[in-house]
Chain A
Amino acid sequence: MENCPFPFTNNIASAWLPCMSKDKSSNAFELVGVNKSFGGVPVLKSIDFSLKAGTITALAGENGAGKSTILKIISGQLRPDSGKVFIAGTEMALFDPKNSHKLGVAIIPQELAPYPDLMVYENIWVGRELKSKFGTLNRREMLNRSKEMLDVFGIDINVRLPMKKVSVALTQIIEIAKASTWGAKVLLLDEPTSSLSDREIEHLYDMIKQLKSKGVSMIYTTHRMGEIQKLADDVVVLRDGKIALQKKIEDTDANDIVTAMIGRKLGNLFASKSTPTKIKKLEVKNLTLTKSSPKISFDVYEGEILGFGGLVGAGRTEIIEAVFGVRESMQGSIVVEGKEIKRGNVKKLIKSGLAFVPEDRKGAGLILERSVLDNGSLPNLDSFTIAGFIRPKFRIKGINKVMASVNLKSRGVEQLVGTLSGGNQQKVVLARWLTNQIKVLILDEPTRGVDIGARSEIYSIIYDLVATGISVVLISSDMPELIGLSNRVLVVRNGEIVGEVQKGRLDEQGAQEEIFRLASGQNTMNQNTVGSR
C-alpha cells in the first residue's frame, strides 16, 4: 500500500489514477526476485519482470518453462515462495484471486469454463448480477448492457443463446469483453489462439488492439512466432524458470526467440535414428470414426517410431483412441502382426501386444487413489492371478521389476499414485505396460507437463524399447520432440492423414515448416509454430 497514497476503494478507476503518478506505477505490474517451487522442484528462479502500462508483452517458452506459473502468481492463484509482486504500484500482500481481481487483473485461461446451459448474457453477468430495487434480477438491463458491450467489439450475436451453442472463439471473445467492462487494467491471455481458426484469430487481434488503445496492458502467451511479431511490444522468453531473453520486439527476430526458448541444439536430447525393418507390426486399414469421416490407413514397422503431427484438435487422439478401441469406430480393420483383431475389443488388443499411454494421465491414465502396485498390475491383471485370485508376492515382484526398469522414484509400490510427481506418474503409466511382451506402444503427448529431466529419461526408455524391436506410435505437439524422435511423421488435419514426412526429410532444415504447412493447410510460412502447446 505504501506506493499508493490513497486507500483502495472498490472503484478501480478512482483508485488507479493516483497510483499512476508514482514512478513505480508506470508499470502495470512488476515482479521483483520472484521464486517459486513445487515439491522442492524450482519452477521460477528469481524472476524480475515488469509490464509497462498500455503495452503488450509476449511471454514465450517451452512446456514447463514457468509461463503459467507467472500468470497464476499475478492473478493471485499462487503465492510465490519469495520476492515481491506489485500491481499498479501496490504490493500484493494477499495472494488471492479476489484480491488480484480488485487490483484490476483478469486472466483468460486457455481452457475456458463457461456455464454451458446459461444464456450468453447470464454468463456475462454471473457474480455481479444487476438487480432491481426489489433485489430481483434486472434481466432487461443485463440484456441491454450485454448487447452494448459486445457491440463495442463488433460482435453481433443473440445474447439469449445458451452458451454451449457458442463457438470456442466467441466464448473467448465474450470472456475478454466481460473482463474489459468491469474495468480490468491487466489482461493475462494464456494461449488465446491455440484453438481458433485464422479468421477468428483476426477478430481477436482487432479486439486486442482496441483494448490496447484504451490503455489496457496485456501478457500474451503463445507458441506462434507470427503472433508475437504482429501484436507484442516486448517479448520475454522463459527457459527452465529463468528469463532467457527480454527485448523490444524490433530488436529481435524469430530465430533469436526460438534459440532462447530451446536453448540448446535439438539433437542433444535425441539419439541418432535406427532403421526399422520391413516387418509390419500394426496395420490400420480404412478405419472410419463416424459415418462422414475420412478413411484412415497406416502401417507401423518393427522398431519404428511413427510420429503423428498436427495442430491441437486436429483429431490425432481420436484416431488413436479408435485404433485402441476405447472410442467407437464405424468400420475398418486393425491387424497386429498379421492377425486381425476385432475392433473395439480393448482386452484382445492388449493381449495381442498393443499398449496405449493416453494424453491426459490424470483423467484417462491413472487411478489416483490406488497404489503404484494396483495401477501397475491393471493392464495385465490376468498374468498376476490364478483363477481370479491375485498372487500377492508374484505381483509385487513383477511390478517392482518394471518400475525399477524405468527408474521410478517412489516410497515403494504401496505409495498412492496421486502423491507421485508428474514425471513419475508418467513413468507408471508407461511402465505398467511392460509387464507384458508388448509389440506396439502408442504414446499420446508422453512429455506434456513433464520437466526436462524426466523428459530425457522418458526418451531413453523409448529408445531402449525400440532397440528391442518394439514399435512406437508417437503423438506429439512438441515439434522438436516429434522431429527428433520419429523415423517418419504422418500429419493429420481435420481427422484425416494429409501428408507424410519421410526420414531423410526429417533431418533437414525446414522439416518443421513442412509439417506445419501440412497441418495448417496453408502455403504461407509466417505462422511458424515452435515449442509446444
Chain B
Amino acid sequence: MSIASVPNTRWSNNNLKDLLLRNTMVFILLIIFVFFTIKNSEFATLGNFRAVLIAAAPFALIALGQTLVILTGGIDLSVGSIIAVSAMSAAYVAVNKTENIWIAASVGILVGTVAGLINGLIIAILDVPPFVTTLGMLAAASGFAYFIGNGAPINGLPEEWERIANTKFFGFQTPVLVMFLGFVILAIVMKRTSFGLQIYATGGNRSAAEIAGVNTRKILISVYVLSGFLAGLSGVILSSRVISGPPNLGSGYELGAIAAVVIGGASLSGGRGTIWGTFLGLLLIQTLNNGLDILIVPAYWQKVISGVLIVSAVTIDAILMRRSR
C-alpha cells in the first residue's frame, strides 16, 4: 500500500492506473478540497490554509512519532497524556523557577522524552506489549499532569511564553516550520539512513532482523523515545498557544495521530507505511475538520462525518489495492 510516488518513465494507460492506485489518498484529498472550495469561498484562502497548518502542527508531531512506532509493529497510546505532563512541567518551571522560557520549554520536552524512554525500556527489555505499556503511561502521565497543577490549570505564564508558538519566520509560525522540518527530516531518515531501514526490518520481521544483526531492542527503545520527545515538543507548543498549562491538554490526541498514520497506508502489524502517507492522512483529517467548521456544520455531525469519511477513505484504498494484486 505504498503511497509514495515513483517516477514513471513512460506514460501509458497502465502507468495512469498505477499512478491512481499509488495515490488514492491524494485523489480523495483533492475531491474533498474541491468540494469545500465550491461550497464556501472562505475555504480556499491563504489565511485559511495558514489556520489549517497551525492547527495541524501539534498533531503532526505526535503523528510522526506514531508513524515510527507503528512501523515497528507497536502503538503509542500515551502521547496525549505526555503532551499534558510536558506542558504542565514546562508551565510550572516557567512560573515558579525561572524567567528563562527556553529552559522551561526544554524541561517540558525532557519530561516527554523521559516518559518515552520509560515506555521503550518496558517494551523492549521486559517484553510487555506496547498496547498495555502505553495504556499504563496514558493514565500515569495524566495523573502527574494533574498533580503538578494541584488539579488545576497553571496560569500566570510570562508573556514571552506566547512567543514560542507565535514568532514568524518566512511568513510561517514556528509550529508550522517545526512540523515541515519534522516531516522532511524523518522522510529522509526513513528513506536514506540505516536507522530507517532497521525500523522497517524490525517491524517487518523481528527475528529476521535479529539474525541480520539488527539490535531490535535498541530500535524499539529509540522509536518510543522519539515519540515521547515529539509529544513533549507538541505539549510545549500547545501550551504556548493557550498561554497556560491545562492538565487535560492533548487529551484524546493519540487517536487522531493513529488515525492519520493508518489513513496514510501504514499497517498496524508493522513494517509497512511511509512518512509521506502520514502527511497525507494528517492533511485529510485537518482539511475535513476545517472545512466542516467553515460550513458551520454542528460539532456532533462533524464527528459522524469524519468517522464515516476516514473509514471510507481507507476502504477505497484497500479495495483498489486488492484489485491490483
Residues in chain B near residue A379, CB distance under 8 A:
212-213
A374 engages B197 (CB within 8 Å): yes
Residues in chain B near residue A65, CB distance under 8 A:
none
Query: Which A157-186 residues have C-beta < 8 A from chain B?
Result: none
Residue-wise, chain B 181-218 has the 8 Å CB interface mask toward A (1 for contact) of: 00000000000111101101100110111111111000
Residues in chain A near residue B208, CB distance under 8 A:
358, 363-367
Residues in chain A near residue B209, CB distance under 8 A:
367, 378
B197 engages A381 (CB within 8 Å): yes
Cβ of A350 under 8 Å from chain B: yes
Query: Which B194-251 residues have C-beta < 8 A from chain A?
Result: 194-195, 197-198, 200-201, 204-205, 207-215
Distance in angstroms between the alpha carbons of A379 and B210 in the assembled complex:
9
Which of A347, A363, A377 contacts B207 (CB under 8 A)? A363
User: Could you pull out 16 A-B pairs where Cβ atoms are within 8 angstroms?
Assistant: A326-B207, A326-B210, A326-B211, A347-B215, A363-B208, A366-B205, A367-B209, A367-B271, A368-B205, A369-B204, A374-B201, A378-B201, A379-B212, A381-B194, A382-B194, A385-B193
Cβ of A301 under 8 Å from chain B: no
Nearest chain B residue, comparing its CB with the CB of A381 = B194
Residue-wise, chain A 341-368 has the 8 Å CB interface mask toward B (1 for contact) of: 0000011011000001010000111111
Shortest distance in angstroms between B161's beta carbon and chain A's nearest beta carbon?
36
Distance in angstroms between the alpha carbons of A19 and B208 in the assembled complex:
52
B213 engages A364 (CB within 8 Å): no
Cβ of B272 under 8 Å from chain A: yes
Chain B interface, DSSP helix/strand/loop, else mixed = helix
Residues in chain B near residue A349, CB distance under 8 A:
213
Cβ of A7 under 8 Å from chain B: no
Cβ of A152 under 8 Å from chain B: no
B197 engages A390 (CB within 8 Å): yes
Distance in angstroms between the alpha carbons of A412 and B92 in the assembled complex:
57
B197 engages A378 (CB within 8 Å): yes
B207 engages A367 (CB within 8 Å): no
B213 engages A358 (CB within 8 Å): no
Which of B192, B197, B272 contacts A369 (CB under 8 A)? B272
B193 engages A324 (CB within 8 Å): no
Nearest chain A residue, comparing its CB with the CB of B204 = A367
Nearest chain B residue, comparing its CB with the CB of A391 = B192
Residues in chain A near residue B194, CB distance under 8 A:
381-382, 384-385, 388-390
B207 engages A389 (CB within 8 Å): no
Number of A interface residues in the complex (CB < 8 A): 29
Distance in angstroms between the alpha carbons of A479 and B102 in the assembled complex:
70
B204 engages A368 (CB within 8 Å): yes
Distance in angstroms between the alpha carbons of A127 and B213 in the assembled complex:
44
Known: A364-B211, A367-B271, A432-B212. 5 other contacts (CB 8 A): A326-B211, A374-B197, A377-B197, A378-B198, A390-B193
Distance in angstroms between the alpha carbons of A240 and B212 in the assembled complex:
34
Residues in chain B near residue A365, CB distance under 8 A:
208, 211
Most buried by A among B200, B204, B209: B204
Shortest distance in angstroms between B249's beta carbon and chain A's nearest beta carbon?
34
Most buried by B among A324, A358, A367, A432: A367
Most buried by B among A378, A388, A390: A378
Residues in chain B near residue A358, CB distance under 8 A:
208, 211
Shortest distance in angstroms between A49's beta carbon and chain B's nearest beta carbon?
33
Which of A346, A367, A432 contacts B205 (CB under 8 A)? A367
For the complex of A and B, the 5 pairs showing the least CB-CB separation, nearest first, are A367-B204, A378-B212, A379-B212, A347-B213, A350-B213
Most buried by A among B197, B211, B215, B271: B211
Which of A356, A388, A392 contacts B211 (CB under 8 A)? A356
Residues in chain A near residue B192, CB distance under 8 A:
389-390, 392
Shortest distance in angstroms between B83's beta carbon and chain A's nearest beta carbon?
29
Which of A347, A363, A364, A388 contacts B193 (CB under 8 A)? A388
Distance in angstroms between the alpha carbons of A347 and B212 in the assembled complex:
8
Distance in angstroms between the alpha carbons of A381 and B215 in the assembled complex:
12
Asked whether A364 and B207 contact (CB < 8 A) given A378-B212, A379-B213, A390-B194, the answer is yes
Shortest distance in angstroms between A382's beta carbon and chain B's nearest beta carbon?
7
Cβ of A370 under 8 Å from chain B: yes
Residues in chain B near residue A388, CB distance under 8 A:
193-195
Shortest distance in angstroms between A321's beta carbon and chain B's nearest beta carbon?
9
Nearest chain B residue, comparing its CB with the CB of A321 = B211
Residues in chain B near residue A367, CB distance under 8 A:
200-201, 204-205, 208-209, 271
Query: Which A416-466 residues have C-beta < 8 A from chain B?
Result: 432
Nearest chain A residue, comparing its CB with the CB of B270 = A369
Residues in chain B near residue A366, CB distance under 8 A:
205, 208
Residues in chain B near residue A324, CB distance under 8 A:
211
Shortest distance in angstroms between B270's beta carbon and chain A's nearest beta carbon?
9
Residues in chain A near residue B211, CB distance under 8 A:
324, 326, 346, 356, 358, 364-365
Distance in angstroms between the alpha carbons of A356 and B215 in the assembled complex:
16
Residues in chain B near residue A389, CB distance under 8 A:
192-194
Nearest chain A residue, comparing its CB with the CB of B6 = A414
Residues in chain A near residue B198, CB distance under 8 A:
378, 381
B210 engages A346 (CB within 8 Å): yes
Distance in angstroms between the alpha carbons of A435 and B209 in the assembled complex:
17
Distance in angstroms between the alpha carbons of A384 and B212 in the assembled complex:
14
Residues in chain A near residue B207, CB distance under 8 A:
326, 363-364
Distance in angstroms between the alpha carbons of A389 and B208 in the assembled complex:
22
Nearest chain B residue, comparing its CB with the CB of A367 = B204
Distance in angstroms between the alpha carbons of A367 and B270 in the assembled complex:
11
Residues in chain A near residue B193, CB distance under 8 A:
385, 388-390
Residues in chain B near residue A356, CB distance under 8 A:
211
Shortest distance in angstroms between A119's beta carbon and chain B's nearest beta carbon?
26
Distance in angstroms between the alpha carbons of A364 and B194 in the assembled complex:
20
B215 engages A370 (CB within 8 Å): no
Shortest distance in angstroms between A318's beta carbon and chain B's nearest beta carbon?
14
B214 engages A378 (CB within 8 Å): yes
Residues in chain A near residue B195, CB distance under 8 A:
388
A370 engages B200 (CB within 8 Å): yes
Residues in chain B near residue A377, CB distance under 8 A:
197
Distance in angstroms between the alpha carbons of A363 and B209 in the assembled complex:
11
Residues in chain B near residue A385, CB distance under 8 A:
193-194
A369 engages B214 (CB within 8 Å): no
Distance in angstroms between the alpha carbons of A364 and B214 in the assembled complex:
13
Nearest chain A residue, comparing its CB with the CB of B198 = A381
Shortest distance in angstroms between B209's beta carbon and chain A's nearest beta carbon?
7
Residues in chain B near residue A368, CB distance under 8 A:
204-205
Distance in angstroms between the alpha carbons of A385 and B192 in the assembled complex:
9
Distance in angstroms between the alpha carbons of A389 and B197 in the assembled complex:
10
Residue-wise, chain B 241-278 has the 8 Å CB interface mask toward A (1 for contact) of: 00000000000000000000000000000011000000
Residues in chain B near residue A369, CB distance under 8 A:
204, 271-272
Shortest distance in angstroms between A428's beta carbon and chain B's nearest beta carbon?
11
Shortest distance in angstroms between B51's beta carbon and chain A's nearest beta carbon?
36
Distance in angstroms between the alpha carbons of A431 and B197 in the assembled complex:
19
Residues in chain A near residue B210, CB distance under 8 A:
326, 346
Nearest chain B residue, comparing its CB with the CB of A374 = B197
Residues in chain B near residue A381, CB distance under 8 A:
194, 197-198
Nearest chain B residue, comparing its CB with the CB of A390 = B192
Residues in chain B near residue A347, CB distance under 8 A:
213, 215
